[in-house]
Amino acid sequence: MRHIFAKELKLNMKSFIIWSLSVGLLGLACILLYKSMQGDMKEMADAFSNMGAFSDAFGMSTLSIATLKGYFATEVGTVHGLGGGMFAAIMAISIISKEEEGHSGEFIYSLPVSRSKVLLAKGLCVAVYLVAFTIICGLLYAGGFVALDEELPTGQLLTFMVRQMIMNFELAGICFGISSISWKNRMGLGIALSMCFYFYDVIGRVVPDLKDYLFVGPYSYANAAEIFTDADTPVKALVIAAVMIVCSVAFAFWYYNKRDLAS
């Protein structure tokens, strides 16, 4: 199984490097731009904090974008949330189905290894890359704070990165389940799914009636504005995330073991 795991790591390495550097460096660039924009930020912060529901949706009513912490939560929080979600979805939704789409399934499954072991190797590969993605982006963001000689909000940044990683795991888990039933690469579906969850969260924060149902979506517990204002831990949302991850991955194993493989 370790050879399949190593091969998956190798085959997905390029995609991982591109995504982690793109998202991480974009976030870092945002942070580094803060100083040059700091002068205009105060007026902007006042305007943004008085936009009613939209200020709530993007956390600008509770955090001032005139401070680096507030600026990070609103700007980099969005970049990392969207970028990380898309990376997780794209990687997981193609990891199983690519064997049948690329017709390499007959090669790999004629080797003496069970479908469960192949899935385990693929799932581990996704998990390793999501953790590595979080570490690389987290280090780049922390580097941005240090480069600007600003105080690093270590605890909040760590909580933000870990919650974002859990959100990535949840999206990846759902996409892993979809990948197990698909004979084709559904990259578009993966991107659409991550975008839908993101906009569900944004709309949920704008529309008052939806606020009570926000916890269902994976972005609810990874909201940067809430984390950087030390809001209560959304236990219900995190429990649902854990259940979703376990159920999606268990479904992938169960379904993939009972279905026919395409040639």
Residue numbers at the binding site for other proteins (CB under 8 A): 3-4, 7, 11, 102-107, 109-114, 258-261, 263
> In whole angstroms, how close is the CB of 179 to other proteins at the nearest point?
17
- C-alpha distances in angstroms, 237 versus 16, 30, 154, 199? 28, 29, 23, 17
- Toward other proteins, which CB reaches closer, 183 or 215? 183
- Note whether 97 and 183 are within 8 A (CB): yes
Phi/psi for 184 (5° steps) reads -130, 160
- Toward other proteins, which CB reaches closer, 8 or 170? 8
> In whole angstroms, how close is the CB of 162 to other proteins at the nearest point?
33
- Toward other proteins, which CB reaches closer, 39 or 112? 112
- C-alpha distances in angstroms, 214 versus 35, 146, 182, 236? 34, 34, 29, 10
- Toward other proteins, which CB reaches closer, 126 or 165? 126
> In whole angstroms, how close is the CB of 20 to other proteins at the nearest point?
20
Q: Report d(CA 190, CA 179) in Å as an integer.
A: 10
> In whole angstroms, how close is the CB of 116 to other proteins at the nearest point?
10
- Toward other proteins, which CB reaches closer, 213 or 255? 255
> In whole angstroms, how close is the CB of 178 to other proteins at the nearest point?
21
Q: How far is CA 26 from the centre of its chain?
A: 15
Round to the nearest angstrom and report the end-to-end CA distance of the chain. 22
